Amino acid sequence: DLILVYSSNVPWQRVLESQGGRLCCYVLLGENALISCSLPGCGVYFAFMNAEVNILYFAKSAELAGVRTETLSVPQQITSSQLWDEIVDRHPRHLLSIENMNEDEEQPKDLIKLSHEKLSIDAVSLSVISSSCGAVSVFIGTTRNTFAGKTVISLEYEAYTPMAEAEIKKICLVMRNRWPSLKHIAVHHRLGLVPVTEASVIIAVSSPHRTESLEAVQYCINTLKATVPIWKKEIYEEDEYSWKENKECFWRQQIK
C-alpha cells in the first residue's frame, strides 16, 4: 500500500509507505532517497511552504480510506507522527486497521496428537494451512502388506503418551530453530491396530516456500522414528507376530 504526501510549492516530497502494517517515511529530492525512517513517531519533520498538502492513496490504503485523493491543512512544520495522526483523524475506522493489521495474524501452532482413532489426511493437512504460506508438505506413513516375505495383515502401535508427546514437542522445537519460517506443524500418530493401507502417522508442515516445509517434514519423520518411544508389532497371517524396532532408533545404535 502507498500513501503519497506532497506540497506543490516545495521541490521535494515525502512518501509514506505501509507494508503489512509497518510504516516508513522516505524523504525524496528529485529521484534520490535521502532519509528513511519508521513511522509513526520517527520524529522527522515535514517543512511545507504552505499550510496545505495533497494526499494520494493507492491500493489497500485507498480502499480503507474510501478516497483516492484529498487536501489536508496542516501546520507549516509538522512531524511525521503528527502528520500520520492527522490522516488517521480523517479516517479513524479505516486507516487504524493498517496499524493493527499484524495483531490478528495467527500464531504458529504445534499440533500433536496420539490417538486410537483412524487418522484423517484432510483434517491434518487443513489444520496447518495459513494465508501467509504458499506450501503445505505432508508425509503419510501407511501399513504395507508384506515384510521379509511374510504377509502382514495389520500393525499395532503402543506408547506411553505423555513421554511420546514430550519427545515430539522437542522435535518441533528443533524444527523451528532450524527452519524459522515454518508456520504450523502437525504430528498425528495412531495407536492400536492399523490395518493394511491405513495411515499410522501423518506429518504436515506449512511454510511460505516449499523447500523449508519439505526438509522439515523429512527431518520430523526420521527423528520421530529414532527418538520417540512408540512400539510397533507386526501381525502376520497364521497368528504370527513380531515386535519391531525402527532401524533409526538411537538405543539400537548404542547397544551395537
Backbone angles phi, psi at 58, to 5 degrees: -130, 155
Read off the pLDDT band of 20 (50, 70, 90).
very low
Average pLDDT over residues 134-150: 92
Q: What percent of the chain has pLDDT over 90?
A: 46
Residue 152 or residue 46, greater confidence: 152
pLDDT at position 65: 74
pLDDT at position 94: 54
Residue 67 or residue 176, greater confidence: 176
Backbone angles phi, psi at 67, to 5 degrees: -140, 160
Whether the predicted pLDDT of 12 surpasses 70? no
pLDDT at position 1: 42
Backbone angles phi, psi at 152, to 5 degrees: -95, 130
Angle, vertex CA 7, rays to CA 5 and CA 13, nearest 5: 55
Q: What is the pLDDT of residues 49-80, one digit of tens each?
A: 556 777 777 776 777 777 888 887 777 666 66
Q: Which residue, chain included where needed, has cell 520517527? A: 42
In this structure, are residues 229 and 159 in contact, taking their beta carbons and an 8 Å threshold? yes
Q: What is the largest CA-CA distance in the chain?
A: 95
pLDDT at position 140: 98
Average pLDDT over residues 141-162: 91
Q: What is the pLDDT of residues 73-112, one digit of tens each?
A: 777 666 666 777 777 777 665 555 555 544 445 789 999 9
How far, in Å, are 15, 26, 72, 100 from residue 58 at the CA level? 12, 16, 17, 19
Residue 9 or residue 180, greater confidence: 180
Average pLDDT over residues 31-44: 39
pLDDT at position 81: 65
